[in-house]
Structure 1
């Protein structure tokens, strides 16, 4: 006599993790963008849009927030690799992530990119700016705080 046993499997794509990263990244991008409006307006109005052969503050702000969303997914990947994080640990990771983004993207990648496209806002290489560092750390802090709250909500 034969018996059959049914097993149920659940496939998960863990979309909440990366979607939470997008939302947290957008929030961080908006907050950092607001700081840029007050302290680094030429970067937002000239440098960032000229990376894509565009001009103007609205284009710069929109691109900056889009970059924030993509980099938020990167944060979600790092946080996911580390496992479940408390809000405090996520905040610390976010601050470190923001500082790392500044070091790689703002200090080195952006000047090279702006030079390659012939931007009128071509900064020196390396582009060391404490105002930019603070902005990126704030971005990371917002992402680190927001991510645990929005992760898995989608």
Structure 2
């Protein structure tokens, strides 16, 4: 009796999962950051660096990309052992769901609560922002695709 196993061939390189998570997170963060800079420039230039007592776009971009890389590693830690990295489609789907969860928890609750605690702004909690939702879903989708492209089983 023959058995079949599912294998994935990396499109670009066969990296450790955490490294692929960093690359995917940075790629997703770059695309999300560009969208944010165009649609919500006050977030990346003011609110994001303000969380850490800083100001300005360079600080905002640096923090945003650091968050993106760390969250990419978290994605890898979840996707790899659960099998959601076995195919490009599964990884893309998992990335989109991950982006939705990040938006619901971090974007809608944690970020506005933190901003309200450290800055003079008083955003609503939860802050249901459709542009933020789109950005987080795009982040997750790009993360999922790049993660799959850089991993192999």
TM-score of the superposed pair, with normalisation by structure 1: 0.85
Shift of 1:116: 2.0
Shift of 1:151: 2.6
Structure 2 unaligned regions, length at least 5: 1-14
Count of residues paired in the alignment: 137
8 Å CA contact 1:21, 1:151 repeated in 2: no
- 1:87-106 mapped onto 2 (5 Å cutoff): 87-106=88-107
Poorly superposed stretches of 4+, deviation over 3 Å: none
Once residues 59 and 151 of structure 1 are traced to their aligned partners in structure 2, the CA distance between those partners, rounded to angstroms, is 31
- RMSD of the alignment, in Å? 1.3
Determine helix, strand or coil for the equivalent of 2:120: coil
Matched, 1:116 2:117: yes
Distance change >3 Å, CA 122–CA 58, structure 1 → 2? farther
Structure 1 unaligned regions, length at least 5: 1-14
Distance change >3 Å, CA 121–CA 34, structure 1 → 2? farther
Once residues 22 and 121 of structure 1 are traced to their aligned partners in structure 2, the CA distance between those partners, rounded to angstroms, is 32
TM-score of the superposed pair, with normalisation by structure 2: 0.85
Superposed CA deviations along residues 15-68 of structure 1, whole A, max 9, x for unmatched, are: 711111011101110110000111010001110000000000111111111100
Shifted more, 83-92 versus 101-110: the winner is 83-92
